[in-house]
Amino acid sequence: MSGPAPDIRILRGTDQPYPDADINIVIDVIRAFTVAHVAFLRGVLEILLVNTVDEAMSLKAREPSLLLAGEIKGLGIPGFDLDNSPYRVAQAELAGRTLVQKTTNGVKATLAALAARHVFVTGYSNAMDTAGHVRDLLARNGLRTVNVIASHPQDDDDLACAEYIRDQILGLRQLHPDDVVERILRSRPAAKFLAVPAGEFEPRDLDFCVRAIPSGFVMEVDRMSKVPSIRRVVSAQTQSH
């Protein structure tokens, strides 16, 4: 990256007021934005973001074709069509559908981060494409400031991914992908998926959460729509080829 290095801040949690920035990147590895990435790979057109179950139900009452997806304390929500499992989303017929997503950390953090000019969401699965796209935006458009928001307030899964994305944007290559994956798998959120015998959490979800899936697109939030929504945007690297 030519010119002065951008100012990239790593922030944690969903409740703080985020500093002003040109770009906000919100991370939820386990599992919200891994689910979103898989859903787009399955042909979803758009993902509407809401903070409450009531908002989700109200949207579906007005538009019954919507599919509701999400969790409360990690568990599926009664009356929703899908939970927060990337493994199960990968099995669903989603082509041409619109989702409504409500989650504890990722969605909440995103809805608090809409003030930036560009807002992106990602897990580890789409981290490389997201970092490359943001790096290109910074270089082409004279943008200077980036908040990389690890939505989980305490644990290491989102923080590891945030540090990895920062390094990729800056071209530092200090964190090896294997180290990021190890930190994700050793994090407290991952532990409940590794329990023996398996409990209420699908162990195969972690396979999606720790696998880079190059897909040629990034997930950008349309912050100006009546209901903020994630949309699939062709990545800068794909456009240049």
Higher pLDDT, 4 or 32: 32
Structure confidence by residue, pLDDT tens digits, 14-55: 877 899 999 999 999 999 999 999 999 999 999 999 999 999
Q: What is the pTM of this model?
A: 0.95
pLDDT for the residue 3: 67
Whether 215 is covered by a domain: the verdict is yes
CA max distance for the chain: 53
Residues 6+ apart with CB under 8 A from 45: 96, 97, 98
Higher pLDDT, 36 or 197: 36
Whether 241 is covered by a domain: the verdict is no
Structure confidence by residue, pLDDT tens digits, 87-111: 999 999 999 999 999 999 999 999 9
Structure confidence by residue, pLDDT tens digits, 54-76: 999 999 999 999 999 999 999 99
Structure confidence by residue, pLDDT tens digits, 137-168: 999 998 999 999 999 999 999 999 999 999 99
Total number of domains constituting the chain:
1
Domain that holds residue 187: 7-236
Cα–Cα nearest to 89, from 146, 132, 38, 138: 38
Q: What percent of the chain has pLDDT over 70?
A: 97
CATH number at residue 80: 3.90.1560.10
pLDDT for the residue 100: 99
Whether 181 is covered by a domain: the verdict is yes
Q: Which tokens in the block code for residue 6?
A: 């951008």
Whether 33 is covered by a domain: the verdict is yes
Whether 2 is covered by a domain: the verdict is no
Give dist(CA 136, CA 147) in Å, integer. Answer: 16
